[in-house]
Structure 1
Amino acid sequence: MTGSVTGSDAMERPDKKPNKAEAEFPVSADAEHVPPSGPDAAEEWESEVAVPAPLYDIIICGALLILGCWFVYGALQMQQTTAVFDPGTFPLIAGGLLILLSGVQIALTVAGKGSRGSVVFQRPLWLAIGMVLVMAFPFAVGAFGYYIVALIWVPVFGWVAGVRHPLSLLATTAIVLLLAKGVFEMLLGTPLP
């Protein structure tokens, strides 16, 4: 065989051995997917979105680093005692670990030793709606009470997550409400808002 090997033939060369990252996390041909443009773009864009893995690492680890700083700041604002474990101990440790580990991952990514390829998100519009629902849940519970919000939120979140069978949505809602009542209020004696 003579000449250069290009395209998909390069992946099948018997003399080319994959490195450790390629062996553990093979990248499919679809991983380098670029959203199309044109009349069918909305349908295709709804199905999946590929984000370069290094960018994804930096965004997620950056958010976790900020969260870690918030934990540490909150822990330092809590009342300090002479006890080994005071109220701020756990958030201080958790925040410190988030800062340390996120910083290490960001440094590895910037140095080119982090993740390669792409991270593919399926159903990105539904994913974004689900994230908004998760972030809004605690605020809604504070305003309207747990049981009312859960009665509405659980089936809506189930629908967003792709559950389309009404009986499954009803059963899931009932289980969540019964577990909340049984575990928190009856077993632990903790009233829910």
Structure 2
Amino acid sequence: MAIEAELKAIVRDPESVLAALEKTGGPDRVDVYQDTYYDEPAGGLMDADRELRIRTVHGPDSTRTVLTYKGARVDADSGSKPEFETKVADPAAAHEIFRGLGYVPRIAFEKRCRNYDLTADGRQVLATLVRVPEIDGTWLEVETSAADAAELPAALVVVRAVLHGLGIADSDLTTELYTDAVAAARP
């Protein structure tokens, strides 16, 4: 089991964080994520803090789709969750399979992302500057992988250090989910 060791922050000064990322992370990848979250009709997955998502990533040179399942949070402070992900060859078929199994789309939205691959303390780290057109603000997600719950604290120390190095204060951290913010913004 791998755990996505991730912290997310509200970015108060996007230009300054972008400049720090460009300096630290080198070239970026600009991607548009189209996310569809599925759930049981009664909402059992999301109510239990689990996620079932089909994400199509539109990049400058290619488009790819991944299926992701995230288990319930294993760390309340960070919101880190076990994550299982696999490539999807036929996105339309994947959506039909979910519907055929009785899952329903709970929410779908777009994320506009600038991704930077970093190395910190020997770990591969992904830093993503995020805008969601339906909600105001800019966020920074920094993540790495932890092999298990015992390794999670050390992984989060690295993630927090990257955030601090980019000028993000602990007071800017948030565990609010984009799904909740988008749902709240819709009439």
TM-score exceeds 0.5: no
Higher relative contact order (CA 8 A, sep 6+): 2
Bigger strand share: 2
TM class by smaller structure: under 0.3
Normalising by structure 1, we get a TM-score of 0.26
Structure with larger Rg = 1
